[in-house]
């Protein structure tokens, strides 16, 4: 059966089967010849591409390293500074307090220390004598207070002693009666027990 093919201009071409058979056999022969050549071409292309990739990597590696160092040395500090400034502008936290109070406090301490040193230098031994007399006065005052407190305690203790003796004399006759009752009861209890 003949094969009908439609051409570009809508024309019908009729191809006899014998021509079709011949085309198939030629195509098979061509595939048999082209197949090994294609494998060889593929291997050659792969080897050439691998070599070119190695060349490209060798060419690109030093340039990428130089670019990295350039970025690290030149661009990164600029970008870091820019980002830090942006962060400072955006930050909602209050700014740090003024340092003036601390400076004034330290200045006052320094002036006070200088004044104390000048006072000590100008007064000399007079200062130490006045300190000794003040210390002696304080020790006399403390010893007077201690004597006064001791007198009060001894007076209170004497009064307590007198009252204890008074209650002791009153309690002696009644305690003798109570003691006699207890002793007589205990002796009768011991006689009655088997």
- Kindly indicate the confidence band of residue 127, based on its pLDDT and cuts at 50, 70 and 90: low
> Domain ranges in the chain?
137-194
Q: What is the pLDDT of residues 70-98, one digit of tens each?
A: 888 888 888 888 988 888 888 877 666 67
Q: What is the pLDDT of residues 28-58, one digit of tens each?
A: 888 888 888 888 889 999 999 999 999 999 9
Its pTM stands at: 0.28
Q: For residue 1, is pLDDT > 50?
A: no
CA distances 181 to 169, 171, 185, 186, 193, Å, are 20, 16, 6, 9, 19
The dihedral region occupied by 98, where left means phi > 0, alpha psi between -120 and 50, and beta the remainder, is beta
């Amino acid at each position: 059966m003949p094969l009908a093919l439609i051409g570009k201009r809508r024309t019908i071409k009729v191809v006899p089967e014998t021509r079709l058979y011949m085309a198939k056999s030629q195509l098979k022969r061509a595939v048999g010849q082209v197949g090994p050549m294609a494998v060889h071409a593929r291997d050659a292309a792969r080897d050439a591409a691998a070599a070119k990739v190695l060349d490209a990597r060798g060419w690109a590696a030093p340039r990428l390293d130089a670019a990295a160092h350039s970025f690290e040395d030149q661009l990164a500090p600029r970008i870091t500074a820019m980002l830090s400034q942006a962060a400072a502008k955006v930050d909602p936290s209050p700014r740090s307090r003024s340092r003036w109070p601390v400076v004034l406090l330290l200045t006052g301490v320094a002036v006070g220390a200088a004044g104390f040193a000048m006072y000590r230098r100008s007064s000399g031994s007079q200062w130490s004598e006045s300190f000794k007399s003040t210390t002696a006065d304080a020790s006399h005052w403390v010893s007077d207070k201690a004597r006064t407190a001791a007198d009060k305690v001894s007076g209170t203790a004497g009064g307590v002693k007198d009252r204890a003796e008074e209650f002791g004399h009153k309690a002696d006759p009644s305690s003798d009666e109570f003691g006699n009752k207890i002793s007589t009861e205990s002796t009768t209890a011991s006689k009655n027990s088997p």
